[in-house]
Homo-oligomer: A and B are copies of this chain.
Amino acid sequence: MTTPYQLYYWDGLQGRGEFVRLALEEAAAPYVDVARQKKGMPELLACLDGGQVDHPSFAPPVLRAGELLIGQTANILMYLGAKHGLAPRAEAGRLWTNQLQLTITDIVSEVHDTHHPISTNLYYEDQKKEAKARARDFREQRIPKFLDYFEGVVARNPGRGGYAVGSRLTYVDLSLFQLVEGLRYAFPKTMARLEPSYPSLIALRDKVALRPNIAAYVRSKRRIPFNEDCIFRRYPELDK
């Protein structure tokens, strides 16, 4: 690649953009995080505007790769996975990888709704009571259901190395790392209680954290700290 990728995502939060950043960082692919540059916001907004681009996205993240403008996190990762050896080449493996990523998409969307169960157009403070009820269900029912699933996928993967798919790292492993990190940030008490039940998943998280490119990225200023603008938010009243 001579032209760097351009990643369009809101500045100031990890959000869904972070799943893309982790793949770019692992691949050591050059990229510009456009909205974090001076005057980057109008360029981000142009990606959402059908008057300005042929394939507008409904929402960020968006990745520009040469002539291509690609939206939807799992779609971007499918593209990057194929280009950078972060997904199997054979059809069955590609489909399985994409299926797992879409299931991560599902839980990430549910994480968001723990603090915004009624409307993304209202403040958290205006839906706090409903958020408490939804977060309780999420902690007690949904986190275990999703993590049981991912634990089973990793534990039963016949490939060597403790990955989710086959015997090599894929973008799904990077996303599972981010999912565990995000859940730990937002629901520390819940995760402290649950993690012993997920040894394979946590071992995978640890393995990803030790990869040189990921370790360097997480220590760098390019990694935005978790905060309460993110999908993963630490509101103590939502964790018990």
Q: What secondary structure prevails in chain A residues at the interface with B?
A: helix
CB-nearest residue of chain B to A92: B68
Kindly provide the distance from the CB of A57 to the nearest chain B CB, expressed in whole angstroms: 7
Asked if A152 is at the interface (CB within 8 A of a chain B CB), the reply is yes
Q: Are B50 and A153 within 8 A (Cβ)?
A: yes
Kindly provide the distance from the CB of A218 to the nearest chain B CB, expressed in whole angstroms: 27
CB-nearest residue of chain B to A104: B58
Q: How many residues of A contact B (CB 8 A)?
A: 42
Asked if A188 is at the interface (CB within 8 A of a chain B CB), the reply is no
A128-144 interface code vs B (CB 8 A; 1 in, 0 out): 00100110010001000
Binding site for B on A (CB under 8 A): 50, 54-58, 67-68, 70-72, 74-75, 78-79, 91-92, 95-96, 98-99, 102-103, 105-106, 109, 113, 117-119, 121-122, 130, 133-134, 137, 141, 146, 149, 152-153, 156
